[in-house]
Amino acid sequence: MLIAFQDAFALLTQFDRGVISIVLVSLQVSLSALVLGTLVGLPLGAWLATEQFRGKRALIITINTLMGVPTVIIGVLVYLVLSRSGPLGELGWLFTVKGMVVAQFLLTTPLVAALSRQVLEDAWQIHRETFLSLHFTRLGYMKWLIWDCRFSLTIAILAGLARAISEVGAVMIVGGNILNSTRTMTTAIALETSKGDLPFALALGIVLLAIVLLANLLTFAVRSIAEKRYG
């Protein structure tokens, strides 16, 4: 085991091309999905937090359920939609990075929406009358509500990143784990472990942990600075 770790560190210190390529694909897929998921999830969370409508509770329960749906289920559904005989088969996105982004977007969006709704709903109770008395439109008060909660919302976005970068089921099914094309850190770890190439799997695991740790540190730093400045 010690040798496996030594070899893993050697791969990392030598900037192994294979490792770097896989890390870049992972980051490309997960960050793209996170950006899109945040762009959709935050306004969706804000809308759910501020609006009253028939069926709101059912929609919240649905989104909360989607937050924890197994990734392989999303993978299979996206596979069916993107496969040649599926409704979006003509796009040719199956076994491509684009298809993987779609799958991870569907994983991150409900998570960001559900977590942000909880944060924004509390803030809405506090600011509702002020925003309405200042004649803000729906878009206006949603924007300022998100701005007011921006530091708390970093947790929702961080959770979205963790969900995206650590999942294996959906990208395996939709991406196909093709070397130098759609192979991500998680699918490569699964593959290399089954092949017995533990140093390679460990090297990727270390990078994966480092990315999650870095994201957490950044979030913590942003919140700390913000709390010092804005309380």
Partner 1 sequence: MVNLNKLEAKQIELRSIQIVRDGRTILDIPNTDIQLGGITACIGPNGAGKTTFLKLLHGLIKPNAGGSVSYADGIRSALVLHYTPMIKASVLTNIGLNGLRMPSNDEIDRVLQEVGISHLQHQPAHQLSAGEKQKLSLGRARLQNPNVLLLDEPTANLDPTTTAQVEEMIREFAASGCDVLISSHQLAQVRRLADSILFIDGGQIIEKGACAPFFAQPQTEAAQRYMQRERAAD
Which residues are near partner 1 by CB under 8 A?
126-127, 129-137, 140-141, 144, 147-151, 226, 229-231
Q: What are phi and psi of 3, to 5 degrees?
A: -65, -40
- Among 31, 134, 54, residue whose Cα is nearest residue 145: 134
Q: Is 127 left (phi over 0), alpha (psi -120 to 50) or beta?
A: alpha
Could you tell me which of 100, 124, 93, 128 has the C-alpha nearest to residue 34?
A: 100
What is the closest distance, in whole angstroms, from the C-beta atom of residue 51 to partner 1 in the complex? 16
CA 83, chain centre distance (Å):
23
What minimum distance in Å lies between the beta carbon of 128 and partner 1?
9
Among residues 155 and 212, whose Cβ is nearest to partner 1?
155
77 vs 226, which CB is nearer to partner 1?
Answer: 226
Q: Give the integer Cα–Cα distance in Å for 154 and 51.
A: 23
Q: CB of residue 125 vs partner 1: minimum separation in angstroms?
A: 10
> Least distance in Å: CB of 202 to partner 1?
42
Our CB check for partner 1 shows the closer of 59 and 222 to be 222
Token duo for residue 221: 């730093």
Nearer to partner 1, 24 or 51 (CB): 51
